[in-house]
Structure 1
Amino acid sequence: MKESNLKKLETLAEEHGFTHALPYLIANTRQAISCVKAGPADYGTPSASRVGGDPDLPPEVEWPLTTDGEPMTFLVQLNLRELAGQDEAALLPARGMLSFFVGIPEPAYDIEHRVLFIHEDRLAAAVRRIAPEVTALEEVYNGYGLEAMASLEPPNYAYVDEEQIEAENVGYEEYEDLCFALGHREHDEVARLFGYPAGQHDDAEYEAALMLLTGTTYSYHKNEALQQITSHFGGDEEKAKQEIQDTLVLLELDSDDDVGFCWWDAGMLQFFIRREDLLAGRFDRTYCSLYSS
């Protein structure tokens, strides 16, 4: 953890009464990038980070289609040059753009989608592209500019060890306040990269890793998924555990009234990628699922 992040964590942990849990927080807090809405989309600035609205695409890039030949729905584009200064773990490419498209999010697992990586040398040719026809979600979303901020994310509800954080005068409610302060939650966040996936159970990475590595649908039993991934690696359980740990949240997209996003019951659309594929720029190897309470 960077010295500045460590200092911030120490300061806020003391302010919120969690000095007793500091070793646990230092060991388990993850770097994240928070993306907040920054006013209506400015189409006069091509290839700027944007959520909703229309994408900017070079002429040779075809609009992604579902397996039924229907245009996918555009969700968000991230100019990686704008994110580079906030990517404190240096996981993303420093230049270029990521564009996210989705088909119908039903069922909530293995959702058809595309993540396009547009190289920096093609961005100059990118222009606003209107969908060729009504897209898969049959929705027209309002476009907003995005501003990226580096943030810290301690383990959330599904991942936290409550015995580590509880003390005489503080519990989970106070812990949520600490997480809120560390993660810029006071801002109008609509998307987040990395950190912990939102949910009620700590198995989202198992589901994603299992599908990405073996093409097998998750049965909602972590031990069974671990066995299947271990078998994929010739019986090497430590390798399997590391792969699950290295399955990252590439993007978590929140429901948002301004944009018009509503993922089932005000849930989250989540895109996952293996660390190895991310570092290699293999954005054709991603997994998409939906979490809704």
Structure 2
Amino acid sequence: MLEIPPSLETYRTAFEKTIVPYISLTVTEKKPSIYSSKFGGDPYLPLNIDHPLDASGNPLHLLAQLNFSELPPLTPFPQQGMLQFYISMTDEVYGIDFEEPTNQANFRVLYHPEIIEDDSKRVTDFSYIQTIHETHEDYSSPLYKEYCLLAHVEEEAISNGDYRFQSLIPEMNDDEEEDMMDVLGNDGHKIGGYAFFTQEDPRTYLPEGSYDVLLFQMDSIDGICWGDMGVGNFFISASDLQALNFTNVLYNWDCY
């Protein structure tokens, strides 16, 4: 049963209709395998795939990689393959284009349909990334170390940060919304579910359903920090996700 404060009992039925499953991600200090789901570090990169570059020709930084064969199944996400998120570490905005947030010039989402666990068939020398670190001493990233990930399925209801909230939940007063945020924040690291924002949902002014799936979210916890304690999200349409087409992904991050 959805846990909500007594002040929101009037809205219980409306909230329960919005409940969806998602994969909650928890970081650990365990050293991850290069074939595993993880945040940061060197990527799994087959020899026939070039390392993604930013608009200036610099290697992009691995933000996260998700090995779906290790993760609990969740519709409509794939059940195998590696999904990777790369961002620029040589600009101050982590690779985002605020005017055109689907422009992957300085970020990239890559999907490897098959993971071949054979070191002879992947890139093993990433010294060129270290060279970029030395060249750009002030490089910026939300994270500066590698984390192994644990995953399990949870459920959550919508909160007022989501652009669909007003159409799904009857109008609340300010006190009720504050009570709601205490228990329905949609924060944390996750795959699927509802997104958390410190500012406004970037999908508010887009056609409804354009980027209706939260592909991945990384929050400012566990030593990770987006600007001033913000959050990063990646969104995709259900049709593109089903087709495993990751060329049209909306990247957003905001902070307080």
**TM-score, normalised with respect to structure 1:** 0.68
Distance change (3 Å), C-alpha of 1:146 and 1:131: farther
Compute the displacement of 1:129 (Å).
5.4
Does the CA-based 8 Å contact 2:159-2:180 persist in structure 1? no
Does the CA-based 8 Å contact 2:11-2:169 persist in structure 1? no
Partner of 2:191: 193
Secondary structure at the counterpart of residue 263 of structure 1: coil
Does the CA-based 8 Å contact 1:84-1:92 persist in structure 2? no
**Mapping of residues 23-38 of structure 1, within 5 Å:** 23-38=13-28
Q: Show CA shifts across 1:172-191 (max 9, x none).
A: 344234326xx6x7xxx4x2
How far apart, CA to CA, are the structure 2 residues paired with 1:251 and 1:55?
A: 17
Does the CA-based 8 Å contact 1:56-1:126 persist in structure 2? yes
How far apart, CA to CA, are the structure 1 residues paired with 2:169 and 2:76?
A: 31
**Unaligned runs of at least 5 residues, structure 2:** none
Give yes or no for the alignment of 1:275 onto 2:235: no
Give yes or no for the alignment of 1:284 onto 2:241: no
Partner of 1:171: 176
Distance change (3 Å), C-alpha of 1:262 and 1:108: farther
Which structure has more helix as a fraction of its residues?
Answer: 1
Distance change (3 Å), C-alpha of 1:200 and 1:271: same
How far apart, CA to CA, are the structure 2 residues paired with 1:281 and 1:195?
A: 18
* Range with greater deviation from structure 2 (197-206 or 279-288): 197-206
Partner of 1:93: 78
How far apart, CA to CA, are the structure 1 residues paired with 2:81 and 2:19?
A: 28
Secondary structure at the counterpart of residue 109 of structure 2: strand
In the alignment, residue 10 of structure 2 is paired with which amino acid?
H
Secondary structure at the counterpart of residue 132 of structure 1: helix
- Residue 40 of structure 1, aligned match among 30, 42, 46: 30
Q: Show CA shifts across 1:259-291 (max 9, x none).
A: xx4322121122111111001000122121221
Does the CA-based 8 Å contact 1:97-1:119 persist in structure 2? yes
- Residue 216 of structure 2, aligned match among 248, 251, 256: 251
How far apart, CA to CA, are the structure 2 residues paired with 1:148 and 1:70?
A: 32
Partner of 1:212: none
How far apart, CA to CA, are the structure 2 residues paired with 1:131 and 1:78?
A: 23
Secondary structure at the counterpart of residue 62 of structure 2: strand
Distance change (3 Å), C-alpha of 1:107 and 1:59: closer
Compute the displacement of 1:31 (Å).
2.7
How far apart, CA to CA, are the structure 2 residues paired with 1:108 and 1:121?
A: 30
Does the CA-based 8 Å contact 2:231-2:253 persist in structure 1? yes
How far apart, CA to CA, are the structure 2 residues paired with 1:142 and 1:107?
A: 21
- Residue 59 of structure 1, aligned match among 47, 58, 69: 47
Does the CA-based 8 Å contact 2:15-2:169 persist in structure 1? no
In the alignment, residue 193 of structure 1 is paired with which amino acid?
I
In the alignment, residue 203 of structure 2 is paired with which amino acid?
E
In the alignment, residue 28 of structure 1 is paired with which amino acid?
T
Partner of 1:216: none
**Mapping of residues 12-27 of structure 1, within 5 Å:** 12-13=3-4, 16-17=5-6, 18-27=8-17
Does the CA-based 8 Å contact 2:43-2:65 persist in structure 1? yes
Q: Show CA shifts across 1:184-213 (max 9, x none).
A: x7xxx4x2222222225654224xxxxxxx
- Residue 132 of structure 1, aligned match among 116, 128, 133: 128
Does the CA-based 8 Å contact 2:219-2:230 persist in structure 1? yes
How far apart, CA to CA, are the structure 1 residues paired with 2:59 and 2:179?
A: 45
Secondary structure at the counterpart of residue 17 of structure 2: helix
Q: Show CA shifts across 1:57-77 (max 9, x none).
A: 222222110121111111111
Give yes or no for the alignment of 1:266 onto 2:254: no
Distance change (3 Å), C-alpha of 1:255 and 1:95: same
**Mapping of residues 58-77 of structure 1, within 5 Å:** 58-77=46-65
Does the CA-based 8 Å contact 2:27-2:222 persist in structure 1? no
RMSD between superposed Cα atoms in Å: 3.1
Does the CA-based 8 Å contact 2:19-2:156 persist in structure 1? yes
